[in-house]
Amino acid sequence: MTTDLFTLKGRTALITGGSRGIGRMIAAGFIAQGAKVYISARKAEVCEKTAAELSKGGGVCVALPVDASTVEGAHALAKAYAARESKLDILVNNAGAAWLEKFDKFPEKGWDKVVDLNLKTPFFLTQALAGLLRAAATKARPAKVINIASIDGVSVNSQETYSYAASKAGLIHLTRRMALRLIEDHIVVSAIAPGAFSSDMNTEARDHGEEVAKHIPAKRIGSDEDMAGAAIYLASRAGDYVVGATLVVDGGVSHARG
Which residues are catalytic, by number?
Answer: 164
First CA to last CA across the chain, in angstroms? 40
Q: How far is 29 from 207, CA to CA, in rounded Å? A: 23
**DSSP reduced 3-state for 162:** helix
Over its C-alpha atoms, the chain yields an Rg (Å, rounded) of 17
CA angle 183, 187, 188 (to 5 degrees): 80
Q: How far is 130 from 134, CA to CA, in rounded Å? A: 6
Q: How far is 39 from 47, CA to CA, in rounded Å? A: 7
Q: How far is 144 from 23, CA to CA, in rounded Å? A: 16
Please state at what angle helix 21-32 crosses helix 224-235, rounded to 10 degrees: 60
